[in-house]
Amino acid sequence: RGEEKLRLHASQGRGDLGAALSDFTSALALLRREGSGRLPSLEASKEASSLEAEALLGRACARLRLREWTAALEAAQSSLSLQPESTDAMYCQGIALKELGQTEKARARLGWVLLKDPRHKMAKVALAAIMAEKRSPAEAQRQEGKTPADPPQT
């Protein structure tokens, strides 16, 4: 299973998103097929659940890169149902929501990510972009030190 995991990430790392998406989908099918029809041990069940969550997260990331926002949102949600504390899955969900125009939900998801992992750089950037879009043009100018009401310097 470790080799499969490396292959999945390698195809995504090469930028072959179609292959990555296919690999993640195949991995999910394999995990589900292996788990059906028998009662796995608790440890094996946890491992399978973790691998499934990771494959779903990989699929969500690939869908984001392909700009398939709804599919990315669904995959991230499925990953979160298995690993509710996953900051990466929540980040993917936040980005998909932002792109679908649900900025308040996106802001909440990205804020949660930063509460759990204050060093999550991509969440910081995405949340800053949402906040910048929310400001009025005059407010943005004031915060940048370019207030139109300021008298000219002499």
In a domain, 94, yes or no: yes
Looking at residues 78-98, what average pLDDT do you find? Answer: 96
In a domain, 32, yes or no: yes
Provide the domain limits for residue 113.
2-143
In a domain, 136, yes or no: yes
In a domain, 153, yes or no: no
Q: Which of 28-32, 33-37, 148-152 has the lowest mean pLDDT?
A: 148-152
Distance CA 104, CA 97 (A): 9
Chain centre to alpha carbon of residue 138? 32
In the chain, the number of structural domains is: 1
Distance CA 64, CA 58 (A): 10
What's the mean pLDDT when you consider all of the chain? 79
Taking the model in full, what pTM does it have?
Answer: 0.66
Which one has a higher pLDDT value, 17 or 116?
116
The answer, yes or no, to whether residue 30 has pLDDT greater than 80, is: no
H helix intervals, 66-136:
69-82, 87-99, 103-116, 121-134
In a domain, 148, yes or no: no
In a domain, 54, yes or no: yes
Task: State the residue for tokens 């029809």.
Answer: 37
Q: Which of 22-36, 117-131, 140-154 has the highest mean pLDDT?
A: 117-131
pLDDT value at residue 80: 97
The answer, yes or no, to whether residue 148 has pLDDT greater than 50, is: no
In a domain, 150, yes or no: no
CATH number at residue 79: 1.25.40.10
Closest CA to 18 of 52, 69, 68, 54: 68
pLDDT band at 38 (very low <50, low <70, confident <90, very high): low
In a domain, 149, yes or no: no
